[in-house]
Amino acid sequence: MNASRLRADAAENRARIVEAARSVVSASGELKLNAVARRAGVGQGTLYRHFPTREDLLAEVYRHDVEELVAAAPLLLAEHDPVTALARWFDRVADYARVKREVFAAVEVGVWQDLSTGSVGPIGDAITALLDAGRAAGVVRPDVDARDVILLLGCLTRLDDAEWDTRARHLLHVVLDGLRLREG
Amino acid sequence: MNASRLRADAAENRARIVEAARSVVSASGELKLNAVARRAGVGQGTLYRHFPTREDLLAEVYRHDVEELVAAAPLLLAEHDPVTALARWFDRVADYARVKREVFAAVEVGVWQDLSTGSVGPIGDAITALLDAGRAAGVVRPDVDARDVILLLGCLTRLDDAEWDTRARHLLHVVLDGLRLREG
DNA sequence: TGGACAACCGGACACCTGTCCGCTAAAGTC
DNA sequence: GACTTTAGCGGACAGGTGTCCGGTTGTCCA
């Protein structure tokens, strides 16, 4: 649908840019926009037209990972009680994030990509499902939404590698506790 | 002590840079490093030698605010129970952050500025005091430290202005709940 | 007071980001 | 197949960041 509205050369360029970005990221761990453009054999303008911000490009590069994350939510809910499902899902986010920190940018942009429509994006939907289940079971506080959770998870991005192992899970536990309904 | 180990001209340059930064920030709301250097009448190299990163400069510019925040902690503890004190202190952080988002950068760098020495910086000390009081009273979970709190507070920086009013306090409540010890 | 040394200065430079605009060549029409 | 329209191309350019190094100038000691 989207592709068919693109001119043939534009579609090809877009694909080449994404591929170039992927290889630049996996080679250097960094993402330099002009390096991507050079490698893809396109001009800077072309790159920026297809992906206005660095995050848009990242979102495309990591779309596969994001989709996996999204798909995991209902599976976890089917197997576990809501709080455990949420905890496991957080663990999964942490796993992705340790290896490729950039996934977070993709997640964040993925969540808000159609902010205007009122929808909250695929990741937002996954989180909403987890929260809803918890609310229905009376174990998650009713006044949080997906955006809140995304924001809270965002604190992981500030961790540096050295402290990741000691702190990441721990922070997620604290966040999880904050999301749970306090009985009493 | 620090000043006396600096050469006279170096000290004066440093002061001029900070003053220039202050006026640039208050004039434009932004902080362009080369504009600061120009205004201070020093070269780029000089600026970067004194303040290796933008955050270092920000920390100096906002040191006054940071000190106020630090001073508030013991006062709040004297007047309120630990959890309330923590809540009020969070409110205070939010107040600063709304007006000048940059304060956060200052806070973060202020916390870690002498990471090597094992100390956690002035803000870190303030937070530690709040947490310790809560722990002693058995109302704050024992396994969190100042760094965790800073990280969690950091999520506020991702808020954009439009959603600040509806979300900031709310997020802080969730974080606070996560920090509290769950009875039962 | 003067000389030596190191700390310090300043701006040139290399790099990255993001924008703008004249030109090219696809896509649709007859 | 020629012609028009216009989406899309690409690279020049402006602006910002951070580094490097030859020259300068405080500071200390004799």
Averaged confidence pLDDT in chain A: 87
Which residues, at least 6 apart from B159, have a Cβ–Cβ distance to it below 8 Å? A151, B167, B168, B171
Amino acid identity at A9: D
Could you list the protein residues whose CB lies below 7 A from any atom in strand D? A 5-7, 9-10, 13, 41-46, 48-50; B 7-9, 31-35, 44-45, 48, 52-54
Which chain A residue lies closest to B152 (C-alpha atoms)? A155
CB atoms within 10 A of CB B79: 10
Q: Is the dihedral of CA B80, B84, B85, B91 positive or negative?
A: negative
- Does A63-179 match A8-54 at the fold level? no
Residue with tokens 């999204």, as numbered in its chain: A70
* Contact present, A140 and A88 (Cβ < 8 Å): no
Would the pLDDT of A1 be above 50?
no
Distance CA A141, CA B148 (A): 22
Distance CA A69, CA A63 (A): 10
Question: For an interface test with B, which of A120, A155, A181, A183 has the most B Cβ atoms less than 10 Å from its Cβ?
Answer: A155
Nucleotide nearest to B8 (CA to C1'): D26
Distance CA A6, CA A12 (A): 9
Which residues, at least 6 apart from A116, have a Cβ–Cβ distance to it below 8 Å? none
Amino acid identity at A119: S
Instruction: Please tell me the CATH code under which domain A8-54 is placed.
Output: 1.10.10.60
Would you kindly state where each structural domain of chain A is located, as residue ranges?
Answer: 8-54, 63-179
Residue ranges of A 59-78 with Cβ closer than 8 A to chain B: none
Overall average pLDDT of the A84-97 stretch = 93
Those nucleotides of strand D lying less than 7 Å from any protein Cβ are 7-13, 16-21, 25-27
Would the pLDDT of B131 be above 90?
yes
B10-69 pLDDT, tens digit each = 899 999 999 999 999 888 777 899 999 999 999 999 999 999 988 889 889 888 888 999
A45-74 pLDDT, tens digit each = 999 999 998 888 988 998 888 899 999 999
* Phi and psi at residue B56, to the nearest 5°: -60, -40
The CA distance from B49 to the nearest CA of chain A, in Å, is 24
Which residues, at least 6 apart from A159, have a Cβ–Cβ distance to it below 8 Å? A167, A168, A171, B151
Under CATH, to which class is B63-179 assigned?
A: mainly alpha
The CATH H-level (homologous superfamily) assignment of domain B8-61 is Homeodomain-like (1.10.10.60)
pLDDT band of B97, cuts 50, 70, 90: confident
* Contact present, B134 and B82 (Cβ < 8 Å): yes
A119 touches strand C (CB under 7 A): no
